[in-house]
Structure 1
Amino acid sequence: MKKTIRRMLTVCGAAAMMLSAAQIIAFADGDVKEVALHMPTVYDLPDAPMVEDAINQITEEKYGIHLNLTYVTMGNWQQQSNLLFTSDEADVIAVFMTPLSTYVKNGQLEDLTDYYANASDEFKQIWSEDEMKGTSVDGKIYAIPNLRNFGNIMGLNIDEDIAAEFGIENGQKLTMEEVDEFLTKAHEKYPDRYALVPQGSDSMVNGWTWDGMGDGKNLGVLEDCGQSTVVKNLFETDDFVDFCTWTRKWYQEGFTMQDVLSNTQPFQTLIGNDQAIACFDNYAVNNVPGMIRTEIVSSWIPTSNYTSLCYGINVNSKDKDAAWELMEILYTDKDVCTLLADGIEGTHYVVNDDGAISFPEGKTASDCGYGMAEGYWIVPYSGNTYPLDVNGPTFFEDLIQFNKDSLRGPAFGFDFDITNVVDQYTACSNIMDKYYKALLSGSVDVESTIEQANAEMEAAGLNDIIAEKQAQLDAFLAQ
């Protein structure tokens, strides 16, 4: 008898893959295993129970697994997921917002090395042994990547009508000098709009050419899109100083909002409502409605991008074997993957003649009842499902190829462990929070602010952090 499903916010479900005849016989007597999957979500999903029921019609009969699936909103994810790792409530869980290495160090994730070694060929075709280095710690696999862009092109999103007016095409390569020329002309013609707004509310850009190696505070980075092996102070790298010098110029010339550090509106809203013209962004092969995307920095894969969202098995899971069965199902069964990623055909999406899907007429991801098609980057594997019309019918094939073509550095798979410098790291993180976004926004003087920030961080132990990170990286490279 199935236990009552507990839903933190909205519950939904998924699972399935082809099993051998012996495995099918094993649960022919009606013995169904319960497995709990926890995932983050952007939107409220009121129809998730409907989707969960549809998935369980497949998984119970085909695999002998009943899934209890819980979605937690992004704003609550970090707190809720940390609590889940202290109990046996979650079996398979997204590793998100907290570094993979932190969970490994705390002994909260199951070692998946042997599970992967014995996995089906179908599963290994999705993630090769080489790619699994991206979610390994000390040579052991602790999580499975999900399908999204691991590489990022860094560029400028521009309102498509204004881009056309100035002769700028989608995918066009631009230098920062050309960006400056465009912003200047756009500001002159449309003085009532912000020429440039932040990528993420109060952050002018979410990354550029520096690689923090799994350290979101960037306390010690690799230059040149992760191609260097020398750890440096971010504020002393040429690219950071150059970027901040440009944004300082644009801030002083009134191209961007003067209260940039208190902005709460996303760029999609500001540009979509004709309040702004452009913003920096990191992207892959997906599109943003109403905008074109240019390229300033070619696609490269930051060291820790594979681990920024992946799926692992809670060490407290009561049935780790069943949890691994679920893991393979989530990556290989097309019917289950499609239900989990897109919902129910005719209710949450319609299939177009070209093989892409659209939300039902008059509906969007936020109000269709189950908008995960727009959150393809959250689910474990969407590569064998339908892409949204805005991204085109070949989107997932293009995305897989994009990842293969993106530049990887020698530190790929490295993840910094702060254990030996936790006090210095905490102190420097607070200082970085004070200066990093302000410098990127252009709202402060570059030279004097960097001088002040460096003095404070060196006094707080930044050099200890850089030395520790370099030592760990050298040991990693030696392996």
Structure 2
Amino acid sequence: MKKGIALLLTVMMVISILTGCSNKTNTDPAGGEQTDAQSTTGSNTSNDNTASDEVVKLVYVVPGDAPKDLERGLKNVNDKLLADGVGVQIELQYIAWDAWDQKLNIMLSTGEEFDMFHVMNDRVSLANYASRGALADLTDLINQYGSAIKEKNPESAMKSGQVGGKQYGIPAYWVESALNHQASIRTDILKKYNLEVPATFEELTSAYETVMKNWEGNQKPYFPMCGTEQVGGYFFNSDNNYVLYDKIFYVNQDGNVKNYFETDAFKESCNKAHLWYEKGLINPDVLTTTKDQMDNQLNSGDWLVHAGTIGDITGIKKNYPDITTDDFVWLDYDTKTPEIRPYGTRNMQAVPLSSKHPEAAVKFINWLYLNQDNFDLFLYGTEGTDYKKLDDRNYEAITDASSGAAPYSFPTWMIGNINFEYTSAVAPKITNDHLYKLDDTAVEGVASKFTFDGSKLQTQLADVNTIIASNIAPMASGVVDYDSYIEEALKLLKEAGIDDLVAEFSKQLGENQ
């Protein structure tokens, strides 16, 4: 991987905004104030076009808010599903972002009946759900009904949906993952303050100080960060030879597995973050900054550099009307070392054990990946009403004046596939070039086809994550200095069982090779 600046893939205006602080910035639906699930049902047509003479309802549970014209969009999808004889009618049930984890956990633990839900592996891993015995094994069903799923997903993506050799997840192979060591920087801001694109971290720090000192925006352009989500990672360190898994496991290309918090990479990340915190480049209230607050900052345009990608500049244009999709460049301080592809995908769909029709999810996603027409109808909506196609596989959403969004659409980061996706006319060109084109020079990570099964160590996982939130995040966010706090943090992590977790991860990885 490349040295220096990193993506928190973890995160997005694309792709932006999901998964804690991830690289899926600006494509997640906003969480809003809603705390209860919303549901909208599509067509109730029950015509029989399946070999089994049965049409079943597929209840698909996802995070975010429903689009304004969901009923029309799903009716069109369901009509085509019926005409194609799939035997499935889909219903979408939305849960607000701020209630997602809690509500979904209740649904799974109580055995509430539904049929499919979205998994963000960097938020709550597939292995976590599988270890609770909450998921249906889809191995045989995908072999029976999933030919298009297997055709459109590489082995690494399919492996990302496996735990213990069983296929629990249907991958969304929607993005090139080998991008962790880059970040987006605003060239319009640099030009305003007569600054060149920085070529080193030191130059970036100096430029950032100049921007902060002379800033004329509505709010200070603090480095976008959700403090409670931080474990350091790629942005603030120059190690180009590792992947961080589950916010715990450091795996380099030599196959060595380490406690990440004992590595030089973590130390460097903490020290550089603390430097920025002391210089006033990181929000003094970073530990209480929420994901919604970070997303609002990104949408406002009051920022200089973001360790992620931006998927839509429409919000930024409200405060910066002259900005264009050309006003962003990568910060990448090592263009010689190949990027490491850490996984096949982090986004996927899973089927709860409570589903009475687990085959419906497989049939629906297989239909989705059969052809461009099916994909477009579910993801983008109706051409001419919800979107219009442009040249070079580019598209433009036809947005509603009141909401600023298409009347109907579904997030590509959630269930998309790079073989079918269009690039957005309102996304920075660097986003389209890097996220939606496969990197032929990238190399597969040692653990890219492996998913850790922590079912035997649930107590240790829970305790370690508690210590990460309480003792690691303040260091990784730069709020406290590394040297003063690392010894106590490592002591608590070891008492919580991190060595057992590292040993088990290493053991399973070795058995998977």
TM-score (norm 2): 0.74
- Structure-2 change in CA distance of 1:207 and 1:47 (3 Å): farther
Q: Does 1:55 align with 2:77?
A: yes
**Cα distance between partner residues in 2 of 1:383 and 1:345:** 19
Structure 2 residue runs without a partner (length 5+): 1-35, 317-322
Other structure's SS at 1:152 match: coil
Q: Does 1:152 align with 2:179?
A: yes
**Cα distance between partner residues in 2 of 1:379 and 1:420:** 30
**Cα distance between partner residues in 2 of 1:25 and 1:470:** 46
Deviation at 1:329, TM superposition (A): 0.6
What is aligned with 2:87? 65
Q: 1:31-90, CA deviations, whole angstroms, 9 ceiling, x for partnerless residues?
A: 441131414243332311111111111111221524132232333333343444454732
Q: 1:419-465, CA deviations, whole angstroms, 9 ceiling, x for partnerless residues?
A: 44333333322211112221122111111111221122223333233
What is aligned with 1:17? none
Q: 1:300 aligns with which of 327, 330, 340?
A: 340
What is aligned with 1:332? 370
Alignment of 1:392-471 (within 5 A): 399=435, 401-402=437-438, 405-471=441-507
- Structure-2 change in CA distance of 1:123 and 1:231 (3 Å): closer
1:310–1:380: 8 Å Cα contact kept in structure 2? no
- Structure-2 change in CA distance of 1:398 and 1:466 (3 Å): closer
Q: 1:26 aligns with which of 13, 29, 51?
A: 51
Q: 2:261 aligns with which of 223, 229, 235?
A: 235
**Cα distance between partner residues in 1 of 2:91 and 2:268:** 46
Deviation at 1:126, TM superposition (A): 0.6
- Structure-2 change in CA distance of 1:66 and 1:47 (3 Å): same
**Cα distance between partner residues in 1 of 2:211 and 2:457:** 47
Q: Does 1:187 align with 2:212?
A: yes
- Structure-2 change in CA distance of 1:130 and 1:237 (3 Å): closer
Deviation at 1:388, TM superposition (A): 2.3
- Structure-2 change in CA distance of 1:429 and 1:354 (3 Å): closer
2:330–2:430: 8 Å Cα contact kept in structure 1? no
1:37–1:68: 8 Å Cα contact kept in structure 2? yes
- Paired residues, what number? 445
2:86–2:363: 8 Å Cα contact kept in structure 1? no
2:395–2:425: 8 Å Cα contact kept in structure 1? yes
**Cα distance between partner residues in 1 of 2:51 and 2:304:** 60
What is aligned with 2:191? 164
Deviation at 1:389, TM superposition (A): 1.3
What is aligned with 1:42? 64
Other structure's SS at 2:466 match: helix
Q: 1:103-130, CA deviations, whole angstroms, 9 ceiling, x for partnerless residues?
A: 3334433333334445565443311345
Q: 1:351-376, CA deviations, whole angstroms, 9 ceiling, x for partnerless residues?
A: 3456533233664875443353xx21
Q: 1:376 aligns with which of 409, 412, 424?
A: 412
What is aligned with 1:134? 160
What is aligned with 1:351? 389
**Cα distance between partner residues in 2 of 1:156 and 1:82:** 33
Q: 1:211 aligns with which of 233, 236, 243?
A: 243
**Cα distance between partner residues in 1 of 2:458 and 2:295:** 37
Q: 1:203-226, CA deviations, whole angstroms, 9 ceiling, x for partnerless residues?
A: 56884266343x2xx33422xxx4
Structure 1 residue runs without a partner (length 5+): 1-6, 15-22
Other structure's SS at 1:255 match: coil
Deviation at 1:313, TM superposition (A): 3.2
1:235–1:454: 8 Å Cα contact kept in structure 2? yes
2:233–2:244: 8 Å Cα contact kept in structure 1? no
Deviation at 1:377, TM superposition (A): 0.5
1:205–1:280: 8 Å Cα contact kept in structure 2? no
What is aligned with 1:251? 277
Q: 1:233-280, CA deviations, whole angstroms, 9 ceiling, x for partnerless residues?
A: 222211221122112112112223222222235445335546433332
What is aligned with 2:38? 9
What is aligned with 1:18? none
The alignment-based identity, stated in percent, is 22
Structure 2 letter corresponding to 1:451: E
**Cα distance between partner residues in 2 of 1:25 and 1:254:** 62
2:243–2:445: 8 Å Cα contact kept in structure 1? no
What is aligned with 2:303? 276
Structure 1 letter corresponding to 2:395: I
Structure 1 letter corresponding to 2:510: D
Q: 2:99 aligns with which of 72, 76, 79?
A: 76
- Structure-2 change in CA distance of 1:346 and 1:124 (3 Å): same
Q: 1:87-107, CA deviations, whole angstroms, 9 ceiling, x for partnerless residues?
A: 473233323443222333344
Other structure's SS at 1:63 match: coil
- Structure-2 change in CA distance of 1:274 and 1:56 (3 Å): closer
TM-score (norm 1): 0.79
Q: 1:312 aligns with which of 350, 354, 359?
A: 350
**Cα distance between partner residues in 1 of 2:431 and 2:278:** 40
- Structure-2 change in CA distance of 1:80 and 1:335 (3 Å): farther
Deviation at 1:230, TM superposition (A): 2.2
Deviation at 1:310, TM superposition (A): 0.7
RMSD over aligned Cα, in angstroms? 3.6
**Cα distance between partner residues in 2 of 1:168 and 1:294:** 13
What is aligned with 2:125? 99
